[in-house]
Homo-oligomer: A and B are copies of this chain.
Amino acid sequence: MDIDLSAQEKKTWFFQMVKEFPSKLKDDVTKHVKNVQKFGKDDPRRIIHSLKVGCALTLVSMLYYVRPLYNSFGVTGMWAILTVVVVFEFSVGGTLSKSLNRGFATLIAGSLGVGAVHLARFFGHKGEPIVLGILVFLLGAAATFSRFFPKIKQRYDYGALIFILTFSMVAISGYRTYEILGMAYQRLSTILIGGTICILVSIFICPVWAGEDLHKMIANNIDKLANYLEGFEGEYFPQPEKTLKETKSCAREYKSILTSKSTEDTLANLARWEPGHGRFELRHPWKQYLKIAGLVRQCAFHFEILSGYVLSDVKAPHDFISKIQEPCSVMSREAGEALKAIAKSIKKMNKDSVCVNAHIENSKKAIENLRVALKSYSPETEKDILEIIPGVTMASILIEIVNCVEKISEAVKEFSVLAHFKETLDPKLSPELRQDLHQHHLLHRGSVKPVLEGDNEKEDSSSPHVLITVHEEQPPTTNEKKVLGAEKTRVYVV
């Protein structure tokens, strides 16, 4: 809009605005409604949680609406409402942690408060407020200080808060109220009622388990890494036969992993409060997830650096690139497949080390091939060594990534033992054959070659080979059936 607008133009512009206002408002409102709908659809558990809170509130309000209940609790029923509102969290672990913290802290602080009031009464009416004041000051300060300690902060922060709250309230109001025992009892019982309602609604109506969320998050993070590696080949190396659109570009989902530590820590912390549920036992090794998550993040750091070289316009000369293309492609592809297999094994809670090891061995073999390729490359001019730097660095980081993937696989293997993952080797295979397979695998490290979907390479059909089918859902029928064509079956020629 011009600054030197004439008065007439301004007027028409103003009327235009007024005219358009209703339709604009309508657009805005529908946009917002759509946003909210989309937000709810993204994770329907949010809607369910909101309804659960409403439900718990309605339940607890019965303390007021139902005459016999109101007669026994009176206005202290208010504490039950308060408890429901502040204690009800999204996950079962969160609700349990807060409820238990609140319950125990109230019990301990209430008893101490009653004790403090009785103690203070020895000092006469004048001395009582002074003694109580000093006690409140000291215990309040000490409990506040304790909240800074990492261990207490992590698990008992809310408990310490409620401790200060309850102790102060009992001790201070004890000066004016003479029925503090009754008051403490009523406060405790209403908190118990509120807490129990929360825990029951939280566990029995569409529960959200923090442990399950953590489990899925770690598996998904590994999948995100795999997705990046899947697109790497297409994005880094020139694909003559494909157009730019067809080339699968790297998924940048891994970026969320870089800063996901606090979420993981919180989930692991809450998971430890949860009882056994579904596939997770009471003493599930939750801490182990954090170890895996740390290695996954380490791998994501490498991706972040690699990504800079992928996006950079400065690439190595064509003859160098074509020399390293094959081994680098195999490295990234196989490492990606290994990560996919690891993620699947976590998701299904099945041991799948044969498949994972095979892919890792393949990518290690590719590292060897890369070394051979580099050895045979002799720079033609002086300038050449300078120009190949980006390519060399990229390859070097890719090697580090393969090492990271191996570390992740080892951590998951350790975890799979602690978490009692199921074996997935075909149960119809005899123990001897399994032993054979294992030995064969150990002797011919690097020669394990998975048949990938759409893999056109010719197999040496004369060599003797054993087929292992790793079924996903359906029970196995024979060892050689359903080998090809079945979409969800992966075949290994050992």
List chain A positions with a Cβ less than 8 A from chain B.
Answer: 39-40, 46-47, 49-51, 53-55, 57-58, 61, 64-65, 70, 75, 78, 81-82, 85-86, 129, 132-133, 136-138, 140-142, 144-145, 148-149, 161, 164-165, 168-169, 172-173, 175-177, 258-259, 261-262, 297-298, 301-302, 304-305, 308, 371, 374-379, 382-383, 385-386, 389-390, 392-393, 395-397, 400
**CB–CB B302/A61 < 8 A:** no
Which of B65, B70, B304, B374 has a CB less than 8 Å from the CB of A385? B374
Interface on chain A toward B: helix, strand, loop, or mixed SS? helix
Closest to A148 in B: B46
Oligomer copy total: 2
Question: Residues of B contacting A54 with CB < 8 Å?
Answer: 136-138, 140-141, 144
**CB–CB B53/A140 < 8 A:** yes
Given the interface pairs A58-B137, A176-B64, the reply to whether A39 lies near B144 with Cβ below 8 Å is no
Question: Residues of B contacting A144 with CB < 8 Å?
Answer: 49-50, 53-54
CA A75 to CA B78, docked complex, whole Å:
14
Known: A50-B144, A301-B305. 15 other contacts (CB 8 A): A40-B145, A46-B148, A54-B140, A54-B141, A57-B140, A58-B137, A64-B172, A64-B176, A86-B161, A259-B259, A371-B386, A374-B385, A374-B386, A377-B385, A378-B382
**CB–CB B383/A375 < 8 A:** yes
Question: Residues of B contacting A148 with CB < 8 Å?
Answer: 39, 46
Question: Residues of B contacting A40 with CB < 8 Å?
Answer: 145
**A–B complex contacts, Cβ < 8 Å, 23 sampled:** A50-B141, A53-B140, A54-B137, A57-B164, A58-B136, A58-B137, A61-B132, A65-B175, A81-B165, A81-B168, A85-B165, A85-B168, A86-B161, A86-B165, A258-B297, A259-B259, A259-B261, A262-B262, A301-B304, A305-B305, A305-B400, A375-B385, A389-B395
